[in-house]
Amino acid sequence: MGYEDSVYLAKLAEQAERYEEMVENMKNVASADQELTVEERNLLSVAYKNVIGARRASWRIVTSIEQKEESKGNESQVALIKEYRQKIEAELAKICEDILEVLDKHLIPSAQSGESKVFYHKMKGDYHRYLAEFALGDKHRPCSYSPHSPWAGPQLLPCHLAKQAFDDAIAELDTLSEESYKDSTLIMQLLRDNLTLWTSSEAENDTAADTNKEMSDAPAATPVTEAKPETKE
């Protein structure tokens, strides 16, 4: 299928609200390895945002129900819900890995303008955030990646990758026109704000985990009003 036909079908799929097909058409466009127009970039963004948005909403609902059932002690229901949640998470991971591969393999290498580079790096930050959203959501467990993910290093959190995307985008700002610079800095401000939230949350979780471990490891003691030195018998 030709480039223009793929763009047209992506627009048609958007009107029909068939976003999975819109994604496939925009992947065909991206695979041409050429600079996308502003309209084409937006089509790509809309396609993936709608595909992942529905699943993010499903994940939040299922996670909320899981927490309620846990609080009631309904272990059998919790087991079923957990399995269902993990199915949604697998779909989320697949979508994120898909767009990240498209960005790294086709779009970023083909980007010519600073504006498009900032746009793509901002997208990378967004989808790393979506990965972190559910990877950290299950009782703040450490983020994990499927072993076939080419960008997944040992103990590498998505927020670290998002920061790299932010830093790379910052390096491109000097190449922008005045008008594009203004728009791009607004996008980068949003990404920076998100990074601040993620890293703060990560630090709080680590501190809480360390505190809980110290409390669980400490021997039981009778409360005293002041500390007394140890004496040897």
Q: Map tokens 């790509």 to a residue.
A: 44
pLDDT score recorded for residue 34: 94
Highest mean pLDDT: which range of 6-10, 118-122, 177-181, 218-222? 6-10
The yes-or-no verdict on residue 18 having pLDDT over 90 is yes
Domains in the chain: ranges and CATH: 1-107 (1.20.190.20), 111-141+154-203 (no CATH)
pLDDT score recorded for residue 38: 92
Share of the chain above pLDDT 90, in %: 48
Of the pLDDT bands very low, low, confident and very high (cuts 50, 70, 90), residue 192 is confident
Dihedral, CA of residue 22, residue 23, residue 28 and residue 34, to nearest 10:
100
Of the pLDDT bands very low, low, confident and very high (cuts 50, 70, 90), residue 196 is confident
pLDDT score recorded for residue 113: 86
Q: Write the pLDDT tens digit of every residue in 57-90.
A: 999 999 999 999 999 999 999 999 999 999 999 9
Helices (H), 1-138: 3-15, 19-30, 38-72, 75-102, 108-110, 114-135
- What gap in Å lies between CA 185 and CA 230, rounded to an integer? 59
Q: Map tokens 């600073």 to a residue.
A: 114
- What gap in Å lies between CA 125 and CA 192, rounded to an integer? 10
52 within 8 A of 24, measured Cβ to Cβ: no
Kindly state the tokens that stand for 8: 């047209």
